[in-house]
Structure 1
């Protein structure tokens, strides 16, 4: 049974941040760390003390974790970035909110003595000898210690304290992976064991030695002497900060709004999830004939919370994609939504399961399409950085000097220039969208075709002629294209958020695209009358959009429906590509900057290949099955940041290492994640590796002189970032749906009891003249009760299966401990 720990977090926004720049503002960004490992960096929001990021991540952590921390920094072009503050959340605290956290949390000061990391390997026991009792402490090694020196390393030593006495190990210079292998012993009071003062403690502290000034604290671990008397301690122990009461600075450092949810699941074998999948599938393949739909899927929507609806929608979309039934699933939800709607103006305006499912469906299957349509234009807008403004209240004439050699332009000239630029960009966007019919995935086109049909059936009147178009464009334009134009970073169209000027351009373009997607219904009725100059462009575009949508839904439903569900990448599909810097294998004597060459890389599920440029015909390739580890590299190894290593094994069993440098930490995490996903099933994955490099006849990390010595740090081969292009995992998706049902079980029981009570009341009130009506009402209640009962039975069966596997795991663990 597989374990799956998924950490979902969203850095929403900040407020009340302190000004760090002389201009009275800051340029804030967030660094996100899991157990002191950087897993994400948000974009910088320039000159803003109340920044909005809205960046969302999913991190898969098979090894578990201890803490999640968000650091807010102020970016400086010269010198080091200023640390503003942090929010640190323990795993235990996050776990105490099974439905997730969504709140403002005050930033706390960053105390270097609390910024500890890493582990220490120890053996401690009480020796009972004829003439002597002693505490035996074998200080073996440590790994992943915090860097305290400018070089990116530390000079660590360990101090062991017991009963007021202290002994220290030797100092190991310039390493975060010290290997001491020293035995320190303390004489304990002779006589009766346990005569030591009650509560006697043994502490092991790790410090960074400094020649000038005081030593820096690197972490500590503490043991009870009584406990060591009963049972020796041996193994790796996590280093902890000194216990202090963490103060949140009373809001003086500002606050972050964060959304965090932890999903710790045991994924059962597929057979255990089949009854739940069959219930969900039955809902769409055998829908109730009566108007009142009481299927298990309808009940799931009713009992799930509004906060969890997006997660539920995403998982259901993936489950039905895996079953090859995504279109019938969406059609089922859309039909329910359409038949419940009496006013066409409110169609799909709520965050219903139908709306969320369509939205998530487009992201799962349509992101490559979105990138192909919008990315070239978005890149051009970012590169040109034109000053564009139509609102007279926001025009800043002093900013226009850059666009005119004759000095500042008048307000009329700015508006005229802005109109022309906007029309140019908007024309390119619309041309790209309207010409993209054949690029749109067939399954998306079929889903839109079904939606068009359902809306037309519900609103056949002539005055509602446009409703069937608005239903589709509401999703495609208002919930897909327009949000991607507004914030390209959130759709992976750009690595960074736009600066203030470009952001305003994107906002104006997104508003125009929304107006076109609304088929001009709101034109002239809003408060933003200054958008009126674009109306002559928007109105003719509406006819073209209708023609585009007519062509989009002109698709053969049968052939598209027979397409194989996406469960794995096709071997030839490029998962990721782009320029990276590859380190030459030779030339150790050269300066580091001369040993890196720019190469274009392609990753598929079969090979990692590279060449001088995308057009270069000659490529070098590494078979994916030969990859043994993909890990970060310490910055001090080559004095270069954002580096990773790919360790492979050749036909003779020899390990080879390729070093690659990325341009930033996000690109590093994305490549690490993508290569790990491609190689996750490889048989010869290494349990440990060296985060440094072998240079000057020793490893830069642990200073060992033997090139073949085992790695000093554990590997993270299964720690990956969730992505829209991930292969489908039906078992993991169904487990999440089960988790939501488990949280809502009480609501489901209440529904069952409510149906039962209503049914009994109908039975008692039924008279001779109301027999048919009573039978119909009773039948509806019976079906609701049956659906609720079947869901409750499935929940109970899965709960029993989980308990059985947990018991078996515990028994196996107990057996292993008794038979080492």
Structure 2
């Protein structure tokens, strides 16, 4: 049985942050670390003490991570960025909040350098009994991943041991975060705890603390420590600054799952598939319908995501959506409320569009969004928000009047809207066939449910409500969250995007809400919006004009075919050369392309001559210490040549987010490779030694663990039916009590119905007959089947967990 840890966190917003700039503002951003390794950096929100980020990440982690930390910094164009504060959450704290996780405002605390420790130390301790008294023998072997305390990005570490009133220390090893001491320190005739501290030696000023580990006397006697131990800070109560440093609103959830072999999930998947492929009646309580009934509103997005992935992997995503949409449509009496709630149907459609349609979204919107960011035009229609001093056009008579600003803004808005609308209505052939097939069936279901002439537009609004209101408009409003841009918009550009998103929503509503709201200052835009509705209807007619059955047959069972591009873009490359000094110009700009089969690069995308490396030969993909080349945001890709030798190439990315994305993408592509390295050197071999651990043997074993299990989750993740089925099972387990109540309720209804039918068919002296099977409500049977599947899976988990305890060596780590 494999195990999987997923950490989902969302940096929502901040409030009351302190001003760090002379202007009385700050330019805040967040750095997110797992065990002191940077896994994400939010975009900077400029000139704002109450920033909104809304950035969400899913991280797949190894089982032994310890804590998650959020650092808020103020970006400065000159000098170092200012640290505002941090929030640190231990794994235990996050796990205790499961299954719903943490969702709250948390005060920032001060950042104390003595608390910012990281890394591990390798020890072998023995307590020997002698006639003169006990003798402590502490073999200090090495340490790894220590915190950098010097400007060079390294430290000068030494270790010191304390036992009773005595102490000894090792030699100092200069300029490394991976010191190799291999020293034995001995102390005699004392009792008490053993404390091992690691320090960074400084020639000027006091030494810097790097971490410590402590062992009580009973541990020394009963189980002398031997192995790697995580360094800890000095014990202190964390000060949250009482809100003086502001606060962050965070959403954090940890899901630790044991993934069973595929065969155990087949009954659950078959029940769900049968619900879709063989529905008895529109209102029948199938297992899938029961899943919807017993799930909470907060969990529906997760359930929707897992269901869409399961059915997408089987080529049945469109039938799934049709089943859910039919249930939603058949239960709706007022067409104005159709898909307005966050039901499982609406959430599933949203997740389906993101999983299948993100490349389409980028192709349609990216050119115009980029233009808006680059032009930085001042646009404002609301007279209460117009700031005449911010207009860039200055007339000979002075600042432009409010009327001129509104007129100019209207022209710019119509220009941008026209470009967006033209891109959308001209994108029929670029829309994924699976999306078109889903919209085709939705169009038909709504038309059948509301055939009246007065409801003519409902079938259009049902589709545009998803495509425009839940897909295009949110992407225009917050392009960073849809990967359309690397950065959030500045306040002026953000206002322009908000006005455009409002206009696109009005178009998606087919103008039904125009004139009804309080924003009467949008009225000058109404003629253009009303005129656009004709184009949108024509576009929707073309969009659903597709052979749904043919589209279903052609629907891919994977998000990407094997040879499809997973990630591509320009990076800077340097091949490793023994003993060579590395000048900056040694890094060559190359265009990289990653598929599930090859990792290749060339001078330009259209270049015919390419260097191609089979993905199956990748042995490790890891970060590189900044001090190795005096360059930030670097990674190394270690491959095995045909003759079995290891070859390393060093690659520089433009920022930490791009670095994390490439690390994650290559790790996912090589996850099934044999011969992955358990360790590597985070430095480079220069000057006849490794820059990380200072070892002079080029072939010496790596001084740092590899991190192939750490990947970012995103819409392009490979499908994993077992993990997805496990998540559905977990949600059913949470809703089992509700499901049992449903079963009891349905059983009572069936018994009552059977009694009524039996009494009606029985005469004096006659025999009663049971309700025919085809007339029995299927609800109780569906609930019984679902409960049985839950119990079987629960028992399978208990069996495997018991086997893990008895034979821990068989436990495996799921990457």
Would you call these one fold, judging by a TM-score over 0.5? yes
- 2:766 is matched with none
Aligned to 1:118: 119
Cα 1:127–1:815 shift into 2, 3 Å: farther
Which residue does 1:802 correspond to in 2? 797
Q: Which residue of 2 aligns with 1:53?
A: 53
Match of 2:249 in 1: 257
Residue number in structure 2 paired with 1:813: 808
1: distance between equivalents of 2:393 and 2:80? 30
Of residues 202, 223, 226 in structure 2, which corresponds to 1:210? 202
User: Which of 356, 371, 374 is matched with 2:365 structurally?
Assistant: 374
More moved, 710-719 vs 399-408 = 399-408
**Residue equivalent to 2:380:** 389
User: How far apart, in 1, do the equivalents of 2:810 and 2:295 lie?
Assistant: 41
Question: What residue number does 1:417 align with?
Answer: 408
2:103 counterpart residue number: 102
CA contact 1:301–1:353 (8 Å) conserved in 2: yes
Partner of 1:689: 680
CA 1:218–1:781 in 2, change beyond 3 Å: closer, same or farther? farther
Aligned-residue offset at 1:754: 3.5
Compute the displacement of 1:405 (Å).
Answer: 8.3
1:224–1:441 distance in 2 versus 1, CA, 3 Å: same
Q: 1:730 to 1:780 in 2, by over 3 A?
A: farther
Aligned counterpart in structure 1 of residue 219 of structure 2, from 207, 227, 232? 227
Q: CA deviation at 1:34?
A: 0.6
Number of the residue aligned with 1:72 = 72
Q: 1:522 aligns with which of 483, 502, 513?
A: 513
- Residue 448 of structure 2 aligns to a residue whose secondary structure is helix
Shift of 1:643: 0.6
1:79-94 counterparts in 2 under 5 A? 79-94=79-94
Query: 5+ residue gaps in structure 2?
Result: 763-768
The Cα shift of 1:489 comes to 0.6
Pair 1:499–1:261, CA change in 2 (3 A): same
Alpha-carbon distance in structure 1 between the residues aligned to 2:270 and 2:237: 52
Aligned pairs for 1:322-721 (under 5 A) are 322-401=313-392, 408-567=399-558, 569-583=560-574, 585=576, 592-721=583-712
| Residue of structure 1 in register with 2:737 after alignment | 746
Give secondary structure in 2 for the equivalent of 1:576.
strand
Deviations 1:410-457 (A, max 9, x none): 212211221111111111111111111111111110100110011001
Secondary structure of the 1:166 match is strand
Distance of 1:671 and 1:664 partners within structure 2? 11
1:785, distance to aligned residue in structure 2 (A): 2.6
Pair 696,308 (structure 1): closer, same or farther in 2 beyond 3 Å: same
- Partners of 1:319 and 1:309 lie apart in 2 by 15
The 3-state SS of whatever aligns with 2:158 is strand
Indicate conservation of the 8 Å contact 1:762/1:778, yes or no: no
The CA deviation at 1:815 is 9.6
Greater shift after overlay, 350-359 or 724-733?
724-733
In 1, distance between residues paired with 2:81 and 2:689?
A: 33
Q: Give yes or no for contact 2:45–2:52 (8 Å, CA) kept in 1.
A: yes
Q: Give the corresponding residue for 1:783.
A: 778
The CA deviation at 1:131 is 5.3
**What is the CA-CA distance between 1:288 and the residue it aligns to?**
2.6
Cα distance change of structure 1 residues 359 and 748 upon mapping to structure 2, 3 Å threshold? same
Give the 3-state SS of the residue equivalent to 2:22 in structure 1. Answer: coil
Contact 2:434 2:555 in 1 (8 A): no
Moved more, 310-319 or 654-663: 654-663
Cα distance in 2 for residues equivalent to 1:488 and 1:808: 48
Quote the offset at 1:541 in angstroms: 1.0
Contact 1:292 1:780 in 2 (8 A): no
Q: CA RMSD in A?
A: 2.3
Structure 1 contact 568–727 (Cα < 8 Å) conserved: yes
The Cα of 1:116 is off from its aligned counterpart by: 0.7
Distance 1:383 1:791 in 2: 54
| Cα distance in 1, alignment partners of residues 681 and 396 from structure 2 | 57
- The 1:813–1:789 alpha-carbon spacing in structure 2 relative to 1, beyond 3 Å, is same
Counterparts in 2 of 1:226 and 1:458: CA distance versus 1, 3 Å: same
Partner of 1:160 in structure 2? 161
| Offset, 1:756 | 4.0
- 2:258 matched residue in structure 1: 266
Number of positions where the alignment pairs a residue of Structure 1 with one of Structure 2: 804
Deviation at 1:284, TM superposition (A): 1.2
- Tell me what 1:192 maps to: none
Distance 1:811 1:403 in 2: 80
The question of 1:283 aligning with 2:284 is answered: no
The one of 737, 741, 745 aligned to 2:728: 737
Q: Which residue of 1 aligns with 2:177?
A: 176
Q: Alignment partner of 2:392: what SS?
A: helix
TM-score under structure 1 normalisation?
0.94
- Given that 1:126 and 1:134 are in contact with CA atoms closer than 8 Å, whether structure 2 keeps it comes out as yes
| 1:607-632 Cα shifts (integer Å, max 9, x gaps) | 11112222323222222122111110
- Post-superposition offset of 1:64: 3.7
